[in-house]
Structure formats: structure tokens, C-alpha cells
Structure 1
Amino acid sequence: MSSEPSAAARVWGRRVLWGVLSLAVVVAAGIAGALLGYNQHAPKPVTVQELVTPAFEGTSRLRILALGLDQVSGNTDTIIVATVDFEKRAVYALSIPRDTRAEIPGHRTFKVNAAYAWGGLETVRQTVENLLGTRIDRVVVLRLEGFKRIVDLLGGVEIDVEKDMHYVDRKQRLYIHLKKGYRLLDGEKALQYVRFRHDPLGDLGRIHRQHQFLRALARKMFQWQEIDRLPELTRQVMEQLETD
């Protein structure tokens, strides 16, 4: 029996990559564009059909390290390892708390969120591989502006904000002001929601909110009717994306 995924599984997997890995860091169209070798300076328009050309032939499982970059500190304060299983049609997402101690190759044991700032893509890949004892197939780093652009192009994302959230850090240029309730969040407000961690649960509370938002964003992607705008979404995100 062939170990290669079926055509239906590959189609499902590509859609999951766009929808589920969008957060933070693993942005739907951005990841698709990176993995498909999209060139934003291409001399001819890129069609939707070209964007969804299979890039995973012969692959049954793909493990992606998605990082959300804080451009002020240079650290990756969102760290998600997403495993896409094409045959089982399942996605498993593991968030690594930013303060987790890890051995950073060529440096020393320190907080895992410093690995990218200290050595770039390859260093952060090796750090996480050693920490988890598993192979990473792709690494993507998304700047905060790219996250906001995705949410705005989708027309916002609905989320149930569980409580009032207020926090100001002028040094980090971080201003969070959210009211409790079911709300349609634009890019700026969505970023505030996924970055808030100033409650008793700290970073674990933030991780929980990020996963909630990831699910809401995936639902929005699956329901999105403006498929003709997918190339535009990809182009805008690619400007904010770094990948191997």
C-alpha cells in the first residue's frame, strides 16, 4: 500500500496550512507562498490555481516552526510547532512558552525566545529540534505588521474577549485596551488580544488566547468568500515574512 497521501488529503492539507497556521506567527497565505516558492517580484500575475499547486508530493507529515517576531526586542515571543498530518487530516499545534530554558547552539542556556535574535533561522531551528527531540521541516518568522494585514484583509475576526484587558509598555510600544465581550477585532485589536499576558496565568494565559484566536482565524479562512483576493493576501504577507 502506497505511503503517499491521496490527492484529497493534499488539498485538505494545503487548506489547513492556510487556515490553521495563520496565527502568529504561521500565517495562512504567507506559509503557502513560502512553501510554494512564491516570488513577489514575478513579472506576471500569480493565479489562485498557481498558488495551490501541490508542494507536498510524497509527504505524509509536515512539521513547521512558526515564530512571531517582536521587532522592538528582536525576540520571538510566539513560538508554535505545528504538525500537519495529511492522511489523518489532523493538525497538532504545540506552543513553547517564551521563557523556556534551552541550550542555544553556539551560545549558552537561555530563554528559547532569544535563539532567533542570537543566530537567525538555523539557530532557532536547531534550538527547538534539540529541545523537543524532533525534526523541523520548515521555519517561518512573521513580523507583527503581517499579522495585522491578514486580519484586516479578512475583514476582522470575531472572538469572545473573556475580560477587560489593559496594559501599557511605552518602551516596547505596546498599548492594549480591550473590553470584555464578543467582538469583531481588526488587525490592531487582534494583535493586542494575542499579546496580552498580564494576568495571573502570564504566558500560559497568552498561549491559551493565541490558540483560541487561531481557531477563530481558521474558521474565518474556511468561510472566506473572496478567494480572488488570495494572491493579494499572499503578496502583502510575504513582505513581512522570513522563511527557509
Structure 2
Amino acid sequence: MTAEHDNEYRPRRQRRPRKKDPIRTVFFTLLGIVVVAAIVGGGYIFNLANSFNSKSQTIESAFPTDRMAKDPNDKSVNILLMGSDSRNTSGGNLTETSDGSRSDTMMLMHVPENRENVYVMSIMRDTWVDIPGQGEHKINAAMAFGGVPLVVQTIEGMFETRVDHVAIIDFSGFKELTDALGGVEINNPEAFSANGSTGEFFPAGTQTLSGDSALSFVRERKAFSDGDYSRVRNQQLFVKALMSKFLTAETLTNPVRINEVVSEFSPFLSVDNELDAMKAGSLGVSLRDVRSSDVQMFTLPTLGTGTSADGQSIVVPDEEAIAEIASALQSDSLGEYLSTADLE
């Protein structure tokens, strides 16, 4: 896909305000298992975890053979979260190493060693980067060139930081999760009509979205003058509302509802072979004191849009910001970087 912007190069940083928004959909559901465990106890959570492990898919070869080394004393955790545009409607295999698909949404979640905060960085899918062995391309092309291992290798190369885990959800799973929660209420800041066959209209203001409408809402970009920038904004807005719905007492104290959510969602989720319910649960327990105000979401800074040498409309990377974030990740000081960085 291309960036729907003017092809004029704008040599200034296009940065979104920092948002204290919740973590993305994949981690929400895994962390939700831990929260439920604290409420309803052992026997039920065992069955719930078993359901997650048996229905989710395992990415057997999620990592490249040439991996970034990790300091054994480094206890921080980096999880690569991706949304696939495979349009899989049956919960089928999302784990092929190279099937021509592209990652539609890409985020790097950083959990610091002190477990006092969680940081989630969105990466614009049209960001022009060096993909190992392929040269310069949009970052979302890495999946098509070499599957999950090449995406991991690309991210590790950009930030000189090891990726510890990978989780992928396809868009059918996104719809299933929304419907399993009975719809999600959002407050849309800007009215727009989605492109495509349905042309669904989203008025400004409060409204409840079901699975199909939610998918249309978070995927739309052509309706906006700044394209993917507004698309990322709407994704973050929706996920915040999704998290609010998921973590209500009404949901978390209802074992039937939680079981439905995990059961419906898991078949559309693929994780590396170490990120099972036990691993996710352990991480969740270590984050038990983290609240929504401790979770910060931001978009990797860019220099706006431009045109590649071969004529593609691209998002121009901010190499200075990438280097700064790489240094912050390596020193586990991302919070300090974000507190001083000009992300306006």
C-alpha cells in the first residue's frame, strides 16, 4: 500500500502528541487472562489458558538465524505486535515465512525492567527503511519478502535491539474480538466516510461500533488529507475504547463473557513458540501495578512524506529520532527519552 499524501518532501518532523493510551489489542487479551485469574481463581484460569494455547497458532520460525544478541542482565522485554492483511476468515495459518502478505499494522512494545510502565511505539507502514538482503523498501514489505523472521531482523536492525516475542492478529480476529465484547463505544473526533464498497459514514461524536464497522473505522486512510497519520490516530482511539470495555467489572467478573472473548479471538492469533498463556501470564503478573496512566503510546517520528527513487509515495524516516530511540531502548531509558522529546 502507498501513503496517500502529496509527494512533496517536507523536511520537518511530523509528530503526534504523546498519548497515555492502553496497549494494543493482542496484549490486551493476554493481559486480561491474568486479571481474570486474580478475580476468579485457579481452576477456571487453567481452563482459560488451555483454551488460549490450544486455539492460538504458533509461529515455529519467528526469529532470524542471525539474531541481535541480548545482554543476560537486561530484564526488559520487547514484543513486536503486527496486524496482518491476510483477510483470513477461518482462523487458518498466518505463520508462513513468506506468503506475499504485508503487515498492515506494526508496533514495538517495550516493557522496562522495573515494570513500572509500558511503552508502545507505532511504526508507519510506509516508512522507508533498509530491509536486510532486499535494499530500501517500505517496512511493511518485509513480511512479503521473508515472512516474520525478516520483519524481526528489520526491526532489530533499525533499533539495534533484540525482539523477545512476536504476536500477530489478522483482521478477522479483530472483528471477532469486538463482537465478542458486544461492540465498542468510541468518540469520533472527525466525521468521515470510509472508502470501498460499503462507504460507511462515521459521524463525529459518540457511537458504538460492531466488528465490521470497527474494522472499517480503524483501516480507513484515504478519507483523510494526512492519510496514515489519521489512521494511526483512529487506531489508538479505538483501542483505548476497546480496553475500557474489556477491563470493566461487568466483563472481568463474568467468566462466560471472558471465555467467549478468548475462545473467539485465539484462533486468529499467532505467537512465537515461547509466548504461551503461561509466559503472558507471568509478564502480566509482573505488571500488576501498572495502570492506564502508566502506559504510553506514541508513533515513531518521521520527516513527513516524500517520493522514493523508483517513484513510490513513502513516509520519510527521521534517522535522528530512530537513533535516539535505539539508544533509549538499549539503555532501558525510553521513558526518559519520551519525557524530553518534542513529539508535538
TM-score (norm 1): 0.73
1:235 corresponding residue in structure 2: 263
1:40 corresponding residue in structure 2: none
Offset of residue 201 of structure 1: 1.8
Distance 2:78 2:84 in 1: 19
Offset of residue 235 of structure 1: 2.8
Contact 2:194–2:216 (CA under 8 A) maintained in structure 1: no
- Which of 77, 89, 100 is the equivalent residue of 1:62? 77
Distance 1:79 1:175 in 2: 26
- Which of 63, 71, 79 is the equivalent residue of 2:86? 71
SS of 2:194's partner is strand
Matched length: 205
Offset of residue 117 of structure 1: 2.0
Distance 1:116 1:227 in 2: 37
2:229 corresponding residue in structure 1: 204
Superposition pairs of residues 20-59 of structure 1, within 5 angstroms = 20-23=22-25, 26=26, 28-29=28-29, 47-49=44-46, 51=48
Offset of residue 51 of structure 1: 4.7
Offset of residue 27 of structure 1: 5.0
Give 5+ residue unaligned stretches, structure 2: 1-20, 34-42, 51-72, 88-99, 273-344
1:137 corresponding residue in structure 2: 164
- Which of 206, 219, 225 is the equivalent residue of 2:244? 219
Distance 2:31 2:171 in 1: 15
Offset of residue 109 of structure 1: 1.4
1:125 corresponding residue in structure 2: 152
Cα 1:144–1:136, aligned 2, differ >3 Å: closer, same or farther? Answer: same
Contact 2:32–2:247 (CA under 8 A) maintained in structure 1: no
Superposition pairs of residues 50-199 of structure 1, within 5 angstroms = 51=48, 60-71=75-86, 74-85=101-112, 87-169=114-196, 175-198=199-222, 199=224
Contact 1:175–1:192 (CA under 8 A) maintained in structure 2: no
Cα 1:27–1:166, aligned 2, differ >3 Å: closer, same or farther? Answer: farther
Identity of aligned residues (%): 31
Offset of residue 47 of structure 1: 3.1
Offset of residue 116 of structure 1: 1.3
Contact 2:125–2:138 (CA under 8 A) maintained in structure 1: yes
Contact 1:151–1:187 (CA under 8 A) maintained in structure 2: yes
Offset of residue 181 of structure 1: 1.8
Offset of residue 159 of structure 1: 0.7
Offset of residue 60 of structure 1: 4.9
Contact 2:82–2:105 (CA under 8 A) maintained in structure 1: yes
Cα 1:117–1:218, aligned 2, differ >3 Å: closer, same or farther? Answer: same
- Of structures 1 and 2, the larger Rg is shown by 2
Amino acid corresponding to residue 48 of structure 1 in structure 2: I
Distance 1:216 1:84 in 2: 22
Deviations 1:213-244 (A, max 9, x none): 22222221211242443333223222112222
Deviations 1:84-138 (A, max 9, x none): 3473432211100011012222322100011112211111111111122222111
How much is the aligned-residue C-alpha RMSD, in angstroms? Answer: 2.9
SS of 1:232's partner is helix
Contact 1:32–1:51 (CA under 8 A) maintained in structure 2: no
Deviations 1:171-205 (A, max 9, x none): xxx75432222011111111112112121221111
140-149 vs 223-232, which moves further: 223-232
Amino acid corresponding to residue 66 of structure 1 in structure 2: L
Amino acid corresponding to residue 204 of structure 2 in structure 1: K
SS of 1:168's partner is coil
Contact 2:108–2:120 (CA under 8 A) maintained in structure 1: yes
